[in-house]
C-alpha cells in the first residue's frame, strides 16, 4: 500500500512528473487501485450563486469587474432557486453541489446569512455541499460548518513564485490562511490549481509540493485546464495539452493517494478518449452540468453516456461520513429548511 506522506521534495515530485508517460499512467493507476474504487467517480455540480462584479484581478477570471468579458452581474440567487438547481443536479446523478460567489472575501452580512440558509437547505437534501466564497475568517468557517457545509474550495491556482503574475489583490499566504481556517472548522478542504496560465512545469511541481505538504492532504484536489476568456489578460493563452493534464492528474494521484482528484475546467475541449486517459491516470471526480460558474461544461446526459461506455459508476454522497453537524441541523427536516 502506498504511504501517505507530507514531506515531498520538489526533486521527488519532478522525477514522478517526468516519468515516461505510459509508465507514469501505469504507476498512477496502480496507486489508484490500491486506495480507491477506481471505477467510482464523484459527480459534482457547480452553480454561481452570485455572479460578476468581483474586485479581484485574477488574470483568468471573467467575473473580475475590471475586465470587459460580457459577464452580466447578478445579485445573490434566492434560496428556492438554488434548491431547484440542486434537485435537478441530484436527479442527474450529482452527489455534491458546489456554490460559488464572486466575492473577494466573506462578509458578515445578510448575503452571508442567505448562503448559510442555502447550505442548510442543500444539506437537508442528502447532498454534500461545497462553497467557494473567497477568503474566510475562523468564525465564518465555523458558522458554515455548523450549517452542515461538507467542503470548502479555495484553490492555490499556481506556485507561490508565479502567483503575483496572476493575482495581485491577495497574497498566497491569504489563501493558505483560509485553508487553515477551513481545516480548524473540520470542513473538508478542496484546493487545487489551473494549468495553462503560462506557468512553467516547475511552477506546477511547486504547487503540488505545497498541497501535498500541508499538515493534512486536501480531501479534494481539482486540476483545471485554463479556459481562455476574451477580455481577460490570459485571453490569448493556447489550449493546454491533454498530456499535460494527464501528467498533472497522475502525479497528484501518486503523491496524494487518498485524495479525490477532480477533472475540472476544460473538459469541453476534451474528447471521450482524452477524458478516459485522465480517469486511467487517477481522476475520480468531475463537474457535470452545462456550466462551471460562467464557462461551458458537458451536460449530464453526455457524461452519463461516457460513464456507461467506460464502465464508471457515480459515487454516493457522504461515502467518507458526514461533517460535524449541530444537533439543530440534524433534527431539521427538509421541509423546515426549505420552508
| Residues with catalytic function | 54, 58, 61, 98, 130, 190, 262
On the 0-12 / 13-18 / 19+ scale of CB atoms within 10 A, 236 is: exposed
**CA 218, CA 256: separation in Å to the nearest integer?**
9
Cα–Cα distances in angstroms (integers) from residue 227 to residues 194, 287, 309, in the given order: 9, 15, 26
Pairing of strands 291-292, 295-296: antiparallel
Calculated CA dihedral for residues 115, 220, 95, 77, nearest 10 degrees: 20
Residues counted in the chain: 339
**CA 121, CA 337: separation in Å to the nearest integer?**
5
Q: Given phi > 0 = left and psi -120 to 50 = alpha, else beta, which region is 157? A: left
- DSSP code for 283: -
Residues in Cβ contact with 69 at an 8 Å cutoff, skipping those fewer than 6 apart:
62, 63, 229, 230, 231, 232
DSSP state letters, 9-61: -HHHHHHHHTS-HHHHHHHHHHHHHHHS-TTEEEEEEEEEEEBS-B----TT-
Amino acid at each position: 500500500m502506498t504511504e501517505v506522506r507530507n514531506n515531498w521534495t520538489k526533486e521527488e515530485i519532478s522525477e514522478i512528473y517526468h516519468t515516461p508517460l505510459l509508465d507514469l499512467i501505469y504507476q498512477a493507476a496502480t496507486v489508484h487501485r490500491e486506495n480507491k474504487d477506481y471505477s467510482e467517480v464523484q459527480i459534482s455540480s457547480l452553480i454561481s450563486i452570485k455572479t460578476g462584479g468581483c474586485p479581484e484581478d485574477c488574470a483568468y477570471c471573467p467575473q473580475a469587474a475590471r475586465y470587459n468579458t460580457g459577464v452580466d452581474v447578478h445579485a445573490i440567487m434566492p434560496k428556492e432557486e438554488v434548491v431547484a438547481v440542486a434537485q435537478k443536479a441530484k436527479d442527474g446523478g450529482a452527489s455534491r453541489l458546489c456554490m460559488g460567489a464572486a466575492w473577494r472575501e466573506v462578509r458578515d452580512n445578510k448575503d452571508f446569512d442567505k448562503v448559510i440558509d442555502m447550505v442548510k437547505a442543500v444539506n437537508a437534501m442528502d447532498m454534500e455541499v461545497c462553497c467557494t466564497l473567497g477568503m474566510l475568517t475562523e468564525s465564518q468557517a465555523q458558522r458554515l460548518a455548523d450549517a452542515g457545509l461538507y467542503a470548502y474550495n479555495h484553490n492555490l491556482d499556481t506556485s507561490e513564485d508565479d502567483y503575483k503574475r496572476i493575482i495581485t489583490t491577495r497574497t498566497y499566504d491569504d489563501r493558505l490562511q483560509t485553508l487553515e481556517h477551513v481545516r480548524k472548522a473540520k470542513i473538508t478542504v478542496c484546493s487545487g490549481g489551473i494549468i495553462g496560465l503560462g506557468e512553467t512545469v516547475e511552477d506546477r511541481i511547486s504547487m503540488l509540493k505545497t498541497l501535498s505538504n500541508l499538515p493534512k492532504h486536501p480531501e479534494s484536489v481539482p486540476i483545471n485546464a485554463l479556459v481562455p476568456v476574451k477580455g481577460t489578460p490570459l485571453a490569448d493563452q493556447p489550449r493546454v495539452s491533454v498530456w499535460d493534464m494527464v501528467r498533472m492528474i497522475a502525479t497528484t494521484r501518486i503523491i496524494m493517494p487518498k485524495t479525490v482528484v477532480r477533472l475540472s475546467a476544460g473538459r469541453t475541449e476534451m474528447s471521450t478518449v482524452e477524458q478516459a486517459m485522465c480517469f486511467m491516470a487517477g481522476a475520480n471526480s468531475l463537474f457535470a452540468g452545462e456550466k462551471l460558474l460562467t464557462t461551458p461544461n458537458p451536460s449530464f446526459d453526455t457524461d452519463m453516456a461516457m460513464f456507461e461506455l467506460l464502465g464508471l459508476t457515480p459515487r454516493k454522497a457522504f461515502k467518507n461520513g458526514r461533517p460535524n453537524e449541530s444537533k439543530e441541523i440534524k433534527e431539521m427536516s427538509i421541509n423546515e429548511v426549505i420552508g
